[in-house]
Amino acid sequence: MRIISFNCEGITSAAEKGFFSWAQEQDADVICLQDIRASESQLIDAPFNPEGYFSYFFDGYDTSASQGGIALYTRVPPKAIITGLNIPEADACGLYLQADFDKISIGSLMVPEPEDSSDISQNTKYRFMDEYLQYLNKQRRKRREFITCGSWNVAHKKIDLASWRDYQESPGFMPAERAWMDEIVNGLEYVDTYREVDREGGKYTFWSNEGDREINQGRRYDYQIATPSMRHRVLSSGIYTHDIFSRHAPVIVDYEWELSF
């Protein structure tokens, strides 16, 4: 099973830059997109419904939001689709969409990104993080596997951020944010699947601008996080950086798993 996760920063913009042409060449079983910035009614035509895939979208209900919206494509029809988390800050902007298959669920997630540097904006992110941690704890009690793909908007460790000494008090690398990731990976024992295969530094998924990308001053903000039993099912992982579809790069992980419904 191959899963691609990508924060497209506007699905129309990513399509114009060739994302869907590239994605169809990757033979992925599931494609999870975040921050599509479009309503479902705008996505009825090609390329937003690629041939060979079942397409699902969740755009929330806050029409004033400048970011958000989730898409999930799968070759195998899911048993169920779950939209939202019952967390107001997330559901208003459409930040989570989940497909349930036999014995496994795959979610597409976007952790809220602060709109500015104010405490109010950062605290909105913290509230979501607290509630989502409770959600992940509940998922651990279920007798099925979970893979959550998306933009977590946190660089977990020093290896995940270029020039980390300069950003220790910056959003995305705050001590409280990193502690939250520690609790997910260490406390709840979820697996950062990319790091199961590649533990080298200098591998990032987000660059603030073209200049930072050219000198690789990036952050690893995008993850595929899985339940503990999936650890030994990770076959390979990679970050695609050859073409630029947004400020983020697609994350590709192959698992020893066959989707069924």
pLDDT of residue 115: 65
Taking residues 152-159, report their average pLDDT. Answer: 95
Q: What is the tens place of the pLDDT at every residue in 193-210?
A: 999 999 999 999 999 999
Mean pLDDT of the chain: 93
Q: Looking at the predicted structure, is the pLDDT value of residue 116 above 60?
A: no
Tokens of 133: 């941690």
Region 139-145: what's the mean pLDDT?
A: 91
The per-residue pLDDT for 117 is 58
Three-class DSSP labels, the chain:
CEEEEEECCCHHHHHHCCHHHHHHCCCCCEEEEECCCCCHHHCCCCCCCCCCCEEEEECCCCCCCCCCCEEEEECCCCCEEEECCCCHHHHCCCCEEEEEECCEEEEEEECCCCCCCCHHHHHHHHHHHHHHHHHHHHHHCCCCEEEEEEECCCCCCHHHECCHHHHCCCCCCCHHHHHHHHHHHHHCCCEEHHHHHCCCCCCCCECCCHHHHHCCCCECCEEEEECHHHHHHEEEEEECCCCCCCCECCEEEEECCCCCC
Cβ-based burial of 129 (10 A; exposed 0-12, middle 13-18, buried ≥19): buried
State the sign of the Cα–Cα–Cα–Cα dihedral 173, 135, 191, 238.
negative
Please state, as a whole number, how many other Cβ atoms lie within 10 Å of the Cβ of residue 211.
Answer: 9
What's the pLDDT at 260?
Answer: 84
Q: Which domains are present in the chain? A: 2-255 (3.60.10.10)
pLDDT for res 119: 63
74 close to 29: Cβ distance less than 8 angstroms: yes
| Alpha-carbon distances, residue 198 vs 122, 187, 204 (angstroms) | 31, 22, 12
Q: How far apart are CA 261 and CA 252, in angstroms?
A: 22
For residue 233, how far is the Cα from the chain centroid?
19
Sign of CA dihedral 185, 190, 194, 200: positive
Q: Is 230 exposed, middle or buried (0-12, 13-18, 19+ CB in 10 A)?
A: buried
Compute the distance between CA of residue 75 and CA of residue 243 in angstroms, rounded to an integer. Answer: 24
pLDDT at 123 over 70: yes
pLDDT (mean) for 128-145: 92
Interval 37-74: pLDDT, tens? 998 889 988 899 999 999 999 997 766 667 899 999 99
